[in-house]
Amino acid sequence: MRHHMSATLSEGDLAIDHELADIANGFRFLLDLTPVDLVTLRRTFESTGHPGPFRYRPMEDEPALAAKRVAAVAVDAVDDPTLASLLLAKQRELLLQLEMLSCRGTDTFLPLSIELYGTVGPSLLAEAQAILGDVPSSGPEAGPWLGADQLAQAAQAELDRYRAIAPDLESHVEVREGSTGVMVSNGDVLVAPTARVAVARLDALLQHEVGTHVVTHVNGAHQPLHVLASGLAGHEETQEGLAVLAEHLVGGLSASRLRQLAARALAVHLMVTGAGFEDVHRDLVAAEVPPRQALSITVRVFRSGGLTKDAVYLRGLRDLVDHLAGGGDLAPLWLGKMPLSAVPLVAELHRRGALRDPVLLPHYLDDPAAVQRLSRLHQVSSLTALIGDAP
């Protein structure tokens, strides 16, 4: 069956894809870039006004060795031109990520991060500033709160709903030191011991992490093209946009959450244009971001020497809303992890029978209110219209 489904891609081409995907699954990029012991950082900052030195977990593999393996993958030997262009871009991205890991904490890191994730362009900056200016701050989110163990149980229950459809689903939930909040890495849900989420935000969080990141990972892992599980080059922006869109579709995109994403984009802009840690924190607080949230955003953008990834949430959401307004469709995005720019190529492979239909679809697509919100997205002119739970 597998051979038949991927009949339009040669065994040799698929072997090259598998080799690249194997290396991509072998390191946890964001975990390696995130400081450990965020509680100490916060305490130091609250008592001295400075965060103190960032400390990172030791890397599992030497980035230079992994980079040699990536460079040695014979992507130029891929016969299929569509696949060749996708794998060449992925090879370049992996080399860039590994170079970033090897420069963690140095001045070389920020320019590489800009190459990978870009910066905050004028229209995105204007949108972020408008959200922070127009959407009233409700201060810190109100409880009741769920802690790490309750979040892990909820994520496990959500995974089990999908496991009923795909019994071979390998994703697991782990309460793990050195992760931040709740995140998905290589298809697994990692919950930081310090994580806490308001009960009112739980469904939105689960649809973001499990209903988007895990679902697309699992669908990618079931494809003949394994690179769709770890993600095609540039997939993060569309992935995060899709994940935040899922929060809106289940009626859980709160004003404070949209303000948080706008604050992340603003913080990246300030950091890239030369503001220091304390200045960025001060400017976020001045924009009425709660001080503790402002600190966690500032740590996120200054990690490893300046990580611009946090611009992708707002930018990805904006691009996806524009995509839907232009008559675009979400369906191809469930085939695996990809950027919007790769959708035509992936859709072509799917049409040719080189890719399978998705094993899983987010179960919120069965919810009439979510479907109604989705059908109205083409009318959205401003992201602030996504706040709240009106179907």
55-71 tens-digit pLDDT: 999 988 899 999 999 99
Domain span including residue 323: 117-386
Residue 85 makes CB contacts below 8 A (sequence gap 6+) with 345
Q: What is the pLDDT of residue 389?
A: 80
* Position 3 pLDDT exceeds 50: no
Q: What is the pLDDT of residue 337?
A: 98
Q: What is the pLDDT of residue 39?
A: 87
* Position 150 pLDDT exceeds 90: yes
Task: Name the pLDDT band for 140 (thresholds 50, 70, 90).
Answer: confident
Instruction: Answer whether residue 375 is part of any domain.
Output: yes
pLDDT tens per residue across span 29-48? 998 999 988 889 999 999 99
pLDDT tens per residue across span 234-256? 999 999 999 999 999 999 999 99
Instruction: Answer whether residue 79 is part of any domain.
Output: no
The C-alpha angle with vertex 376 and arms to 364 and 236, in degrees rounded to 5, equals 60
Q: What is the pLDDT of residue 27?
A: 86
Task: Name the pLDDT band for 7 (thresholds 50, 70, 90).
Answer: low
For range 66-88, the mean pLDDT: 97
Instruction: Answer whether residue 284 is part of any domain.
Output: yes
Q: What is the pLDDT of residue 5?
A: 41
Instruction: Answer whether residue 212 is part of any domain.
Output: yes
Q: What is the pLDDT of residue 60?
A: 80
For range 356-376, the mean pLDDT: 96
pLDDT tens per residue across span 291-322? 999 999 999 999 999 999 999 999 999 999 99
Q: What is the pLDDT of residue 206?
A: 98
Instruction: Answer whether residue 45 is part of any domain.
Output: no
Task: Name the pLDDT band for 216 (thresholds 50, 70, 90).
Answer: very high
Quote the tokens at residue 24.
């991509």
For range 12-33, the mean pLDDT: 94
Task: Name the pLDDT band for 20 (thresholds 50, 70, 90).
Answer: very high
Instruction: Answer whether residue 371 is part of any domain.
Output: yes
Compute CA distances 248 → 66, 82, 204, 212, 349, whole Å. 38, 33, 8, 13, 30
Q: Which helix (H) or strand (E) holds 320?
A: helix 312-325
For range 65-82, the mean pLDDT: 97
Q: What is the pLDDT of residue 4?
A: 40
Residue 309 makes CB contacts below 8 A (sequence gap 6+) with 30, 113, 116, 117, 236
Instruction: Answer whether residue 191 is part of any domain.
Output: yes
Of the chain, the percentage scoring pLDDT greater than 90 comes to 89
Task: Name the pLDDT band for 143 (thresholds 50, 70, 90).
Answer: confident
Compute CA distances 314 → 59, 91, 222, 301, 378, whole Å. 30, 26, 29, 14, 17
Instruction: Answer whether residue 68 is part of any domain.
Output: no
Task: Name the pLDDT band for 178 (thresholds 50, 70, 90).
Answer: confident
User: Into how many domains does the chain fold?
Assistant: 1
* Position 86 pLDDT exceeds 50: yes
Compute CA distances 287 → 33, 136, 281, 326, whole Å. 27, 10, 10, 33
Q: What is the average pLDDT value for the chain, to the nearest integer?
A: 94
